[in-house]
Structure 1
């Protein structure tokens, strides 16, 4: 026995010295022999040792991962792209998923089930994993429903449950998660007719999808929120979300659509608008993630443009008032950023005083980048947000200042010495980024070529010296 263990240890040590590609090639060969019944005792010993070596390099995967996936699988078509401010029927906020699963693991699963969820699945047969996952999913779904019914009989049970989950919205999302399978089943014939991406409702694929949606709503008008939610991720552009409601209602008048069973499509769009605006406001205050900030602003702009392009919305209608209120909130933030963009850009790229070194201020560059990117989006909705004046004035300043400063930076890069060479390179990268937003990609590429050529001059001088 001792000799056998020593042999396994030596074998594992040797196999671990092989490259990953060699290990996998050997594994495929040995597994092929195993399947064909050609393996002898030595081959099986090597195969077992090799699997152990490969397993040690793999991250641990537990049954929890697979059970969670099965638990939320019916909910996937109804999970929105962003967390909603207020609960929207048939739309589940993405962060609710984590909170609901935490509640299931912590407050629903028994000690024995919690242990099963921790079971390692590395190397386990996929059919075995699937069988165990579906069995546990069913157990946890039933247990979740039982727990909810028990708590709802208690005084203040609903409030207590919402507190356990992390809020009222999460509680309502959880109820829809538990009912998702029932709501998904009748939708499967519709979903099966949807292409991965719908580019237009007038295309052959779009017409077939529209026909399936129309038929479903005619048969189950009160279920329209679920079908609109399920098709959202398949639509290539925001306008298609608005178009489907106006096409079904036979009108682009918001008041007329609001009185039909097709109104949930527009309610869902407005819920997303409010969510993106709230996310933008929060990210703006936090001043941490510029990419997320700009993504939220861009999503709001594209969705708002779709609404205004595809619908006639009287200003005194509920949707009109909601849109007007969001525009006011957004305009207040954008106006300050738009007006500050030229000054921040000048401060970021300004030439040093005579005899002074070039200076790169990371914070100023970050502030200028933020303001210029916000200006880019504000300019594209200046009329809608009543920002014509501030945007026009800033556009004039940006054009004049950027042309002067970019020309200056090319000259400074050409003449740079010592530490100024690296500083000018960093300033050049910032200027190229600004150019994309202030002018366009072609201008940015031309500036990049000029800066690259200018940067080669100091390098040649050093080489000649």
Structure 2
């Protein structure tokens, strides 16, 4: 998603970008929690850090300084609160907690002064970037001292965790400091890599692979941070498995795990856990199916090109995600037929005579049909063969019977209820198109048109 956003922003004119950013800031001010807004703003902060401040909108923003301060870790952020904290992956929700701690306990006067200056109308974005850099230079030694004390004293660690906002935020702070201290070599790495890394960029002998290997060999203790940077640019997370294999010069996961390049495989396994968390965590259908597709592609690569049993720890992690996804999918598919029956009920009319569609129920029905479609390829890898076959048979019968019944009753539907009946028919045709295909849906549309023509003819005849 970040790659797509950066590509989109690069195609915009300066004026269009400023208009877009103003609209996004207004959306955030109204309280929207769409994570894509933060991704776009982070992309702009990253552009500013690279010196492309002339492309940024010129008006001040209340969170401009904070975003500039955290810009060096923008490509390490994840929106999801993963079950297991992975080094190199910083939870986005930790940043406001860390920022509050810095303002309150570490350098309150410096942050207050910089914050007040950043809000002045005459201050340009490049000056805010300088303010943020100065703040980082000021607080980094102090944070290092706090972390050093915490490492040697459990009580001090607990106290610091409470101040920062919890154990997860504290561990994210450690990752943040690792990235801050590594800017002198991380930024050249970022600049030397393409914005979009494909499987071909990870082939043996490729310039990107040679560059990644050289930096990893020099900075082995920070390999997980390097892997996080590479993951953000990778076209597909499963490519990191191939990268780890090519770097270690072996497809054996046990040997990869023992190599200096294990971090790249670790990041791929972390991404599998992130996909599973998205699918099981409750989200829109579009996000769910994107995550499910990403998970399936990654696991398919594992199954086809590697022997998971060679690496027991990684095997257990994938097995846990498979069990979680299997439970989720089983529950969704078991409810699919009943969700379709509820979605195809003729809706009531509101006071203006318009159909009151039960949108959540319709979305649940769509999710079941789409999920069944996705299971054509993924059922075996997710241990869902039996429930998939049973659900497909149930959906075949339910959709066909309910849709034919709705079409058959269309010509006899009372005029006052016609709009509601048509809404149910259109929902049925939409679901049938997803499940049976376009040809069958077109046949249903012709039946719908014929039924409406029959009604008109009967009306003229009786009139």
TM-score, normalization: structure 1?
0.72
1:160 lines up with 2:159 in the alignment: yes
Query: 1:426: which partner in 2?
Result: 423
What do residues 40-69 of structure 1 show as CA deviations (whole Å, max 9, x unaligned)? xxxxxxxxxxxxxxxxxx99834x523212
Task: Point out where structure 1 has 5 or more consecutive residues left out of the alignment.
Answer: 1-23, 25-57, 353-357
Task: Point out where structure 2 has 5 or more consecutive residues left out of the alignment.
Answer: 1-18, 20-56, 348-354
Aligned residues: 398
Query: 2:227: which partner in 1?
Result: 228
Cα distance change of structure 1 residues 303 and 107 upon mapping to structure 2, 3 Å threshold: farther
Query: 1:390: which partner in 2?
Result: 387
CA distance in 2, matches of 1:107, 1:66: 21
Query: 1:374: which partner in 2?
Result: 371
CA distance in 1, matches of 2:113, 2:398: 65
1:446 lines up with 2:445 in the alignment: no
What secondary structure is seen at the aligned counterpart in 2 of 1:88?
coil
Mapped contact 1:416–1:458 kept (Cα < 8 A): no
Q: Whose Rg is larger? A: 1
CA distance in 2, matches of 1:203, 1:375: 34
CA distance in 2, matches of 1:77, 1:327: 27
CA distance in 1, matches of 2:334, 2:66: 48
What secondary structure is seen at the aligned counterpart in 1 of 2:379?
coil
CA distance in 2, matches of 1:393, 1:255: 38
CA distance in 2, matches of 1:231, 1:192: 12
CA distance in 2, matches of 1:419, 1:206: 71
Note the C-alpha offset of 1:382: 1.1
Q: Counterparts of 1:323-362 in structure 2 under 5 Å?
A: 323-349=318-344, 361-362=358-359
Note the C-alpha offset of 1:320: 1.8
Query: 2:238: which partner in 1?
Result: 239
CA distance in 1, matches of 2:101, 2:451: 58
Cα distance change of structure 1 residues 161 and 459 upon mapping to structure 2, 3 Å threshold: farther
CA distance in 2, matches of 1:115, 1:141: 18
Query: 1:403: which partner in 2?
Result: 400
Mapped contact 2:253–2:310 kept (Cα < 8 A): no
Query: 1:107: which partner in 2?
Result: 105
> Please, which moves more after superposition, 144-153 or 422-431?
144-153
Q: Counterparts of 1:19-58 in structure 2 under 5 Å?
A: none
Query: 1:198: which partner in 2?
Result: 197
Q: 1:319 aligns with which of 314, 322, 330?
A: 314
Mapped contact 1:342–1:398 kept (Cα < 8 A): yes
CA distance in 1, matches of 2:371, 2:200: 32
What do residues 293-349 of structure 1 show as CA deviations (whole Å, max 9, x unaligned)? 445444433333333233221188222232223222322232232233123323432
CA distance in 2, matches of 1:303, 1:234: 16
CA distance in 1, matches of 2:256, 2:204: 25
CA distance in 2, matches of 1:71, 1:229: 19
Note the C-alpha offset of 1:167: 1.9
Mapped contact 1:245–1:266 kept (Cα < 8 A): yes
What do residues 206-236 of structure 1 show as CA deviations (whole Å, max 9, x unaligned)? 9221121122223333332222111111111
Note the C-alpha offset of 1:161: 1.5
What secondary structure is seen at the aligned counterpart in 1 of 2:194?
coil
> RMSD of the TM alignment (CA)?
3.8
CA distance in 1, matches of 2:132, 2:124: 12
What do residues 224-269 of structure 1 show as CA deviations (whole Å, max 9, x unaligned)? 2222111111111222121111122222222221121121112222
CA distance in 1, matches of 2:444, 2:428: 9
1:67 lines up with 2:65 in the alignment: yes
Query: 1:96: which partner in 2?
Result: 94
CA distance in 2, matches of 1:316, 1:113: 47
Mapped contact 1:435–1:443 kept (Cα < 8 A): no
Query: 1:264: which partner in 2?
Result: 263
CA distance in 2, matches of 1:88, 1:144: 21
Q: 2:362 aligns with which of 362, 365, 381?
A: 365
Cα distance change of structure 1 residues 315 and 329 upon mapping to structure 2, 3 Å threshold: farther
Q: 1:78 aligns with which of 60, 69, 76?
A: 76
> Please, which moves more after superposition, 121-130 or 86-95?
121-130
> Please, which moves more after superposition, 181-190 or 164-173?
181-190
What secondary structure is seen at the aligned counterpart in 2 of 1:327?
helix
Note the C-alpha offset of 1:92: 1.5
CA distance in 2, matches of 1:386, 1:208: 40
